[in-house]
Structures are given as structure tokens and as C-alpha cells.
Amino acid sequence: MGIGAIFRKELADHFSSYRFIILFALIAMVSLITTYMVGIGLKAELAGLAKPKFVFLMLFTSTGPLFSLVQFVAFFGPLIGLVLGFDSINRERSAGTLSKLASQPIYRDSIINGKFLSGVATVAIMLLSILLVVSGLGLTLIGVVPGIEEVWRIFIYLIISIFYISFWLGVSILFSILFRGIATSALATLAVWIFFSFFVSMGASVVANAVVPLDQATTQDPEMIMGHVRIKRNVSLLSPMQLYNDSTAIIIDPMRKTTGSLVLMGAIERLSSERFERPLTISQSIYVVLPHLITLIAITFICFGFSYYVFMRQEIRPI
């Protein structure tokens, strides 16, 4: 009850806000440029060669001169969630509209549910439209129609990305409940984002170095190297960004069979080796990253659930 009215209003607010327009323009621009460069590169590389299977997905995974589209969304996606949510509750509180909302005949949870769902809807519309535009551009560039399996993989990638960005949306809504100041919650969300994006992977190296130090003598020992890498990988899985990176890499690239491959290959090398390998089916790909996916979905719900709990117990007073 009341959730529909709040959802509609919030959605309208999102789509008419400058921050949304700026974010959307930025993302659309970067994705188009990235796809264009990747597409041109692929076209050049594949000239005269038989088209490999799943060439369409390479549009998303090839790094090109800058970064791949998947990497860009992994890095920039959290920012969408944070920007959409960091002032959702405390702005209403400071404008005095929160106590008015709460005095209307609606359940209190419809306020926070409506806000969260409208954010998720905004993210979904944003990502879907960008993926469609990018696919269209890719079609004209490479001239290959994606197979049904490729479409499914892109769809699953879209769903995972929506969950991932919704996790960050949940974090920012939580901070907007916890902190009264809008600037404080904005800074806090940014700090969390930076911590998980950069410092967890750094910390992972530090921990791995401390537990299994690699020096002159041990670098020859494969056991030690494996141990080092394993610790580093496990620690960095504490970061939702790592979880997301690992799972989308597998989903979008059928040739990848494990999240923990040590071998680095160039594009041409990969192309030639892949001709002799069988790709994973979708269900197998999902199976490989199932623990990642479940964790990602779980932390999204935990984060939102915690904001829900805090919000329901907070006293709403006019100021």
C-alpha cells in the first residue's frame, strides 16, 4: 500500500534528475567508444580468418586499447548505485518530507521498498538500453548475428550486473539512513567503494606475502606459488567487485573454465588455442560461478535487509 505511488514518484525523480542524465551520458559515451574501438580491432584481427564461435561475446570481453566493456561496468557500475541512493532518506529527513510521508496511511516499509525498487528499475533500464545500443553497434561492426546462446549469456550477465549494482544501491541507502548529513553519507559511500575496489586487492597481496612469502628460493617451487596465489585470491573474494569480476568473466566467456587461471594469453594466442577447445555450455558456466553468484545475491539482500531493519526501528521526528 502506497508503494506504487512512491515507486512512481521516485522513478520520475531519477529520470528527471541531472545526476542521472550526466551518469547516463557518461556511461553511454564510454561504452560506445569502447565498443567501437574493440569492434574495429576485432574486425582487423579476424580479417581473412574463419570467424570463431562466440565472436559476438568478444565484443564485451576484449580489452581493446583501453579496457573491455565488462571491466568498465565492473568499475563504474558501483558508482551508479551509489549516486542513485546516497541521499535517498536523509534528503527527505532534512527537507521535512519524511515525517509527512510517515504520517500518511502507508506502511513504513513501503517508503524504503519503493525507493530501493525504483533505484533497481532505473539501473535495469539504464543497463538494458546500453547493452542493446552496444549490441546494435557491434552487429554493424563485426557483421555477425549473435546465436541464441550468446543472447542468453548476455542476458544472464545483465541480471548479475543489476544485482551487483543493486548491492551498491543498498549500501548507499543504508548510509543515507545512518547518517543525517548528505555530504557525510556521500563521502562514506565513496570511501566504501574505494576500499573494496582498490584496497582489498592490495591487502590480499600483503596477506599472501605474509603467509607464503615468495623470495628467490621459493619462486622455483610451484607449490609455494600456488599457495601464494590461492591465498591472494581468497582474500580478494572479500570484495564484491572481485566476486562480480570472476562470475561475469566466466558467464560472458564460454572458453573460460575456471576463475583461477594463472596463464596469461594474448588475443591471437587465445583465438588459436580456442580452436582446439570445446566451450562450456551455459549451465556449466553457471555451475562454475554458482558460489560467486549466490554470494553476490546474498550480500545484496543482506545489505538491503539491514537498511530495512535500521529504518523500521528509527524514530521519525520532524526537525
Q: How far is the CB of 173 from another protein (least distance, A)?
A: 18
87 near another protein (CB under 8 A): no
Q: Does 9 bind another protein (CB under 8 A)?
A: yes
d(CA 23, CA 13): 14
Identify the burial level of 24 via C-beta atoms within 10 angstroms of its C-beta, where 0-12 means exposed, 13-18 middle and 19 or more buried: middle
> Nearer Cβ to another protein, position 108 or 230?
108
Pick one of 106, 128, 237, 286: the residue that binds another protein (CB under 8 A). 106
Sole binder of another protein in the list 37, 40, 101, 182 (CB under 8 A) = 101
Asked whether position 107 contacts another protein by CB under 8 A, the answer is: yes
C-alpha grid cell, residue 84: 542513485
Measured from the CB atom, the residue of 209 and 314 that comes closer to another protein is 314
| 224 touches another protein (CB under 8 A) | no
Of 96 and 305, CB closest to another protein: 96
Q: Which value, to the nearest 10 degrees, does the dihedral of the CA atoms of residues 111, 112, 113, 114 take?
A: 50
| 275 binding another protein? (CB under 8 A) | no
Inter-CA distances, 111 with 2, 14, 95, 104, 312, Å: 8, 15, 15, 11, 10
Closest CA to 172 of 117, 215, 116: 116
Nearer to another protein, 103 or 281 (CB): 103
18 is a site residue for another protein (CB under 8 A):
no
- Three cell numbers, residue 200: 582489498
Question: Which of 19, 25, 29, 97 is close enough to bind another protein by CB under 8 A?
Answer: 97
Which of 99, 261, 272, 273 is the binder for another protein (CB under 8 A)? 99
Measured CA to CA, the distance from residue 84 to residue 87 in angstroms comes to 8
User: Segment contacting another protein (CB under 8 A): 26-34, 105-113, 212-220, 275-283?
Assistant: 105-113
Dihedral sign, Cα of residue 289, residue 291, residue 295, residue 301: positive
Name the residue nearer to another protein (CB basis): 137 or 316: 316
State how far the Cα of 236 lies from the Cα of 260, in Å rounded to an integer.
Answer: 12
